[in-house]
Structure 1
Amino acid sequence: MLTDQDEEDVPIIHRESLKRVWVVANGKGGVGKTTISANTGGLAAAGGARVLIVDLNGQGNIGRELGYRNSEVDDEGKALYEAVINGSSVVPVPNVRPNLDVAVGGPWVGRLPDHLSLKYEGQAKKQALMLAAALQQASGSYDLVIIDSPPENPPLQQLALAAARWLIVPVKSDSAAIEDGLGGIARQFGLVRKQVNPFLELLGIVLFASGATSTAIRRGVIQDVERTIGGAPMFNSVVRHSEAVARQSRQRGLLAHELEEASVNNPAFWQVRAGEASAEQVISQTSSSVADDLATLTREMFTRMREREGGMT
């Protein structure tokens, strides 16, 4: 995408309708994109906002976080695929949680780049703007739209970036991952801003799966980020690492704050020792800490967005 010169019939995008669209992106996988997309969306919805999550990933991992994989609502991304291909309005699955709708992802979404290229051959900008065209028709029903973008797939990343107002980049503390992942999404960010979406802005970079109190690690990440892409705004919030919470969340289809709520029904230790309950029934108490981290991050994201909106004309 974004390489052809022969452009015609480029869709008109009303950027005001997309001013509350976030895209969570990184050039590498395994850095928390889906966890942040699902949990910030779920928390905002629980707080009363009308939220749409767009799963622009061929693996459909939002469905694991929210517990609808392999259910009757899991169309493997076909409805989203058809909306983008045709420029028709996104028709999401309603009320996956109260106030939370989802445009389901999956294998159909993975076919979009090739099929857009065939249908709109020689119209690179039109290809890149088709998600924006589909989203702007539905966005008026929502206070917030979050796009969970795939790693290592520049054409789908370009679709997501072209439809968004704000970019959020999760990173882990591994310097090589920062250079590869952050450097990759920075290149797509610059390309999309220059050619199709000059309104796209970086909201911030968040350190994911790290020690919450490790100031040395955070300082090293900031240095790596500055070395990779120059000065960039880091969120103060850090989402700590917990393998148990990540595993239990996807096994049960529950968000971190929902795991925390469910943990009050944990069996007593003596019930497990006596064989009256299984250890698999015990929800990690770390879910409370992770839920707190994600709630703090969500508040900071909204605060920063409002501050940035207030400073713009």
Structure 2
Amino acid sequence: MLSDDEDIPVVDRASLGRVIAVANGKGGVGKTTLAANVAGLAAADGARVLAVDLNGQGNLGLDLGIRGGQADDDGRALAEAIADGRPLAPVRSVRPELDMCVGGTSVGHLPALLSNRYQFQAERQALMLAVSLQQVAGDYDLVVIDSPPENPPLQQLALAAARWLVVPVRSDRASIHDGLGGIARQFALVRKKVNPGLELLGVALFASGSSSRAIRREVRHDVEEVLGAGAPMFEAVVRHSEAVARQSRSRGLLVHELEQAAAANPAFWKLRTGEASRDQVVTATSASVAEDMAALTREMFGRMAELEGDGQ
């Protein structure tokens, strides 16, 4: 829990104006998928992007294809930089124009490390990612932070460093009330204590059968029960495909990259004759999911530009 501190580090909020935290209090709602693909799409469009994996599971590294490789230090460099207040030292060029701070077990231990080092300085603890990030943020057009579920101290680190919050949700009522309710409490706390400029950019729906208008209306109703009337939701909806999710993560490909790989699928006759394996086939559904993800990303950037233009 954040409390009043005397020794609060100075944070240059202008340098963090293009930092997006992707967060939800519940797991399995599409946080890492959204963070990885938004970062990848922005980089593919020519923006300089930094992706920060503030999760002890390190799944962002799986989605970007570096988990278990030479660049994977299990979050040690990220955790040490935050604890010391030093500049982040990202892995360079995991994709063209895309750098990454790797997560993992060391990041999971970060709350205990910060608590021991900065005892009774809860606000300082919450601001340490912002302190480290502001020293490198000028090198990037966009920073995307993937945060963990059910870990308030790490969520506070992400929210305290961000200008914008994006919350992915599933369509089930329990997921919205539990997950969205949890991150809403952290959002309100961080805004009050250390980051009054933090804004909710929007809630994004990840759901099977997402074309159903009835489901969208029900989700909006449930979201407004938690956040209040007029809570911002994105119109674009990313449909869920288990095949796309599994193939993307197992191959270390983003959804638009998986779509491109589908163009090289072996001919059906090669499968029938055994010249090619079913394991080589990329699901055709990747095209639809890639289109959804691109639409959501465009809407996110459009809304961010609109709000920036309004001076928010």
**TM-score, normalization: structure 2?**
0.98
SS at match of 1:132: helix
Spell out the pairing of 1:191-206 with structure 2 (5 A cutoff): 191-206=189-204
Q: Output aligned runs, 1:1-313, within 5 Å.
A: 1-3=1-3, 5=4, 7-231=5-229, 232-312=231-311
Whole-angstrom distance in 1 between the partners of 2:164 and 2:118: 27
Deviation string for 1:82-133 (max 9, x for gaps)? 1100000001000000000000000000011111000000111100000000
| Aligned-residue identity in percent | 67
For residues 189-220 of structure 1, the C-alpha deviation after alignment (integer angstroms, 9 at most, x for no partner) is: 00000011000000000001332421110000
Q: Secondary structure at the match of 1:265?
A: coil
Give 1:75 shift: 0.4
- Structure 2 distance, partners of 1:247, 1:172, is 18
Provide the C-alpha distance between the structure 2 equivalents of 1:269 and 1:246, rounded to a whole number of angstroms: 23
Contact preservation (8 Å) 1:79, 1:91: yes
The separation in 2 between residues aligned to 1:281 and 1:144, in whole angstroms, is 34
Q: What is the Cα deviation at residue 227 of structure 1?
A: 1.0
Aligned-partner Cα distance in 2 for 1:218–1:81: 39
Q: Which runs of 5+ in 2 are unaligned?
A: none
Which 4+ residue blocks in structure 1 deviate beyond 3 angstroms? Answer: none
CA distance in 1, matches of 2:31, 2:123: 26
1:112-164 residue CA offsets vs partner (Å, 9 max, x unmatched): 11110000001111000000000000000000000000000000000000000
Letter in 2 for 1:146: V
Does the CA contact (< 8 Å) of 1:210 and 1:238 recur in 2?
A: no
Q: Which runs of 5+ in 1 are unaligned?
A: none
* Cα deviation, residue 10, structure 1: 1.4
Q: Output the TM-score relative to the length of structure 1.
A: 0.98
CA positional deviation for 1:237: 0.4
Q: Is the 8 A contact 2:210 2:216 kept in 1?
A: no
- Contact 1:57/1:148, CA 8 A, preserved across alignment: yes
SS of residue in 1 equivalent to 2:133 = helix
TM-superposed deviation, 1:8: 3.2
Question: In the TM superposition, what is the alpha-carbon distance from 1:9 to its structure 2 partner?
Answer: 2.7
Q: How many residue pairs get matched?
A: 311
* SS of equivalent residue, structure 1 residue 70: coil
Q: 1:249 offset after TM fit, Å?
A: 0.3
Give the 3-state SS of the residue equivalent to 2:28 in structure 1.
coil
> In the alignment, residue 2 of structure 2 is paired with which amino acid?
L
Distance in 1 of aligned mates of 2:286 and 2:26 = 25
| Residue 270 (structure 1) shift | 1.7
Amino acid aligned to 1:53: A
263-272 or 247-256, larger mean C-alpha shift: 263-272
RMSD: 0.8
Tell me the distance in 2 between the aligned counterparts of 1:16 and 1:199: 10
